[in-house]
Amino acid sequence: MITLYKRRTGLVATAGVLGGVLAVTALGGTSNAATSGNDAGTPPKTQARVNQAGAQEASDARIEITPGQGAHNVGINGPVGVTVSNGNLTKVTMTAVATGAEIPGTLSADGTSWKPHGRLGRATKYQIAAEAEDAKGRSATGNATITTVSPANDFIGHVSPEDGSTVGVGMPVTVDFGKAISDKAAVEAEIQVRSSSGQRVVGHWFNDHRLDFRPESYWKPGSTVTVTLNRHGIRKTVTFRIGRSQISTVDAKTKQMTVVRDGKTIKTIPISSGSPEHPTYNGQMVISEKFRQIHMNGASVGLTEKDGKPSYDIKAVPHAMRLTDSGTFIHGNYWGTDSVFGKVNTSHGCVGLKDVRGGGDGRQPAAWFFDHSMIGDLVILKNSEDKTTLAPDNGLSDWNMSWSEWVAGSPTT
């Protein structure tokens, strides 16, 4: 199958619909790091604000998105839809990830369900975002990413990025197989990845299921990458474009992020990264997913208080972008005071930027960075107190492996 695939490692990352929103474990750089980032600050007052923020946003509305987060092989005729219990849907958007095209749909007369119009596209990744309110006007949000069936379901595997997409210079080609591959050399020989830039592209097997391709250095901006797959007499092609170069460097010591676009610094943003107890990974990370809002809950990794309640439960963290599969995000923080950003590292491993509740103010640093970032952009973190090594297969962190090690991971070289 040729689809864009959302990976999860066998670590402690979890995902599910809780309280009507997507709950995602957001780990930091260390093995005992906790969910989210900048959501459980070191000062007691910061923690109190986090708990208060979660309590204020609690809603009875429960959103369910069918067929569910991360679903593959979804039929082009459904069933795809959104329902809500204990409330009413106020907004539902369904967007084709590669093109940004919004899919029209119909909301039921009683406001409890939504369905898209007509057939969906084949081998297409869609992101669904839903909003609802309960009887007291308290809001809930839900998010899910699904991928429709390919014309040849058993072709070879899930391939990312998606055909026709435009991505940042750090985006590797990833093929995830549904079953373990024993003859890696034979399978890899069936896949060719070429760039219009002329860069040499080499594959690397991280395990029996995952094969990535990348050049020695980042892709050249403006180039086109073509992935050709041949198997059982069937030929498939995936083509994507490399956009402008954007590399953002987060300095955990100075607590500043420098955004460099095509070699020129376009913005410097104050940040707050992982606390000394939960430092953020050092290394090169790649944005793999973007969410306007996402749910972060400490209990999902066992971070609870003495009474069993989660250490924090923030229903709608704005402008969240995934950096690792184990849960490192760069996201908006509306509960931190101005004295945090650029001055104190308070998170459990994520990188936080100043924001407002709901993320509706485009002037805020988090909103600006979200709007000016794309899947495949690089975020490099340095000077963190973290002493562990960021695994290259943790998310799209391929660039943390030396070229000699990378080439050694291909049986065809």
Catalytic residues: 331, 350
Distance of CA 14 to the CA centre of its chain: 13
Tell me how far apart the 2 most distant CA atoms of the chain are, in Å.
Answer: 64
Please say whether the beta carbons of 287 and 374 come within 8 A. Answer: yes
Dist. CA 188–CA 191, nearest whole Å:
5
β-bridge mates for residue 284, sequence order = 380
What is the pairing mode between strands 246-251 and 256-261?
antiparallel
Dist. CA 2–CA 200, nearest whole Å:
23
Give the tokens for residue 112.
Answer: 């409890």
Dist. CA 175–CA 112, nearest whole Å:
38
| Cα within 13 Å of Cα(131), Cβ side | 11
Amino acid at 236: K
- Name the phi and psi angles at 82, rounded to 5: -130, 135
For 223, residues 6+ apart whose C-beta sits below 8 A from its C-beta are: 195, 196, 197, 199, 241, 242
Dist. CA 349–CA 328, nearest whole Å:
6
Q: Report CA Rg, the chain.
A: 21
Give the tokens for residue 338.
Answer: 């101005």
Amino acid at 146: I
Helices of type H across 134-200: 184-189
- Distances from the Cα of 85 to the Cαs of 89, 129, 145, 178, 295, in angstroms? 9, 16, 21, 34, 18
What is the pairing mode between strands 166-167 and 234-242?
parallel
Dist. CA 390–CA 367, nearest whole Å:
27
